Amino acid sequence: MNITCAKRNQGMAVIVALVAVTVLTMLAGLFAYSMKVETRLAANADSDEQLLWLGRAGVERARWILALEGNLPFTSLNQIWAGGPGDGPETNGPLAGLSLDNFQVGEGTVSLKMIELESKINVNLADTPIIQQVLTMMGADAGDMSMVADGIQDWVDADDGTRPAGAESDYYQGLTPAYYAKNAPIDDISELLLIRGISLPMFKGGSATNSQGAAFQHHKMGFGHAPGETPDYPFGLADVFTPFSSGKVNINTANETVLQLIPGMDTMTAQAVIKVRSGEGGMDGSGALQNFNQLTYAGVSPQTVQQLQRYCVFRGNTYEVHATARIGDYSREYVAVLYRNGPNVDVFSFYWK
């Protein structure tokens, strides 16, 4: 019996030892994994800081480019800021041959993309005829036009007075969730999604639905589309509107859609303007129109030219800069809005996208 008990005790000791070894092995594995995670988090934190400074460096490079181009009497898509080969003095100056893609900064690289915001319509300054013209070209329902036009203007004006088809805080407070009308200029184009009558398809274009990326479902009033019919817009409000710009549209950088939205322009005139500014039809190949008289090359009548002077310019000064910073496998996109005032280029905003 004593021998049996001894063997039994030895067996238990072996089992206990195996359990202890297994537990210690697991603990060691968990500790190693924890250390690996901590090391990775520390590396990520360090990379985040480096990416931030790379993004800032990219914005500073954009400021330098725009400052050097500031003495040109026009801006065009042929210029360095737009990724073009350069116009006039650019081809013989410090910007000659400059690339916006993957330029080295310290241990990483940065790529720049710049959008001149004068290529769009300033939504904060848009009047009823402009907004309704945009909606007409989109193919929006007639019942939406007054609602959206009045709604946008009620959102950005400073008072609580409601236009006939618009909305103020008393309407928005009845929604779920409730919120107030801003009664101040829009500073992020996505604010349009908060305005009565504007759906996600109208904002983005195409046939998107409110459930795809919208903060919440928006109440839609008015005639709208037939039941079960999904609207399919050729472009969205976000494609043609901007909250930042000098207020006029640059004929040299606006696309065909935006050009057609300018009072006095039609499809044929917009296409002719694009042809002329590209160097065809009598221009010098600079990629830019420089004065209103040159619009006659596009067949624009003197009366229309006079009307366009109210809405158009040939040079822009407001830019949205996308700086994509990269270190190894890590990348991050930063966005800044820059405003050029003579030789100075100021940063209006900077954020991580």
- The pTM of this model reads 0.80
Q: Answer yes or no: are the C-beta atoms of 297 and 280 closer than 8 Å.
A: no
Q: What's the token pair of residue 132?
A: 């309704």
79, 182, 193, 250 from 163: Cα distances, Å: 43, 15, 19, 30
Helical spans, DSSP H, in the chain: 2-68, 128-138, 142-156, 169-172, 200-204, 237-240, 256-261, 267-277, 302-308
Which pLDDT does position 205 carry in this prediction?
92
- Domain extent listing, the chain: 122-240, 249-313
What span, in angstroms and rounded, lies between the C-alpha atoms of 334 and 353?
6
Which pLDDT does position 203 carry in this prediction?
97
Which pLDDT does position 223 carry in this prediction?
39
Ramachandran class of 303: left when φ > 0, alpha when ψ lies in -120 to 50, beta otherwise: alpha
Q: Mind listing the pLDDT tens digit of every residue in the chain (353 residues)?
A: 455 556 566 667 777 777 777 777 777 777 666 665 555 544 455 689 999 999 999 999 999 999 998 888 899 998 999 998 887 677 788 898 899 999 999 889 999 999 999 999 999 999 999 999 999 999 999 889 999 999 999 999 999 999 999 999 999 999 999 999 999 999 999 999 999 999 999 999 987 544 333 333 333 333 345 555 667 899 999 999 999 999 999 999 999 999 999 988 889 889 888 888 876 544 455 568 889 988 887 788 888 899 899 999 999 999 999 999 999 989 999 999 999 998 899 999 999 98
The candidate with the shortest Cα–Cα distance to 318, out of 238, 250, 235, is 250
Domain 122-240's class? mainly alpha
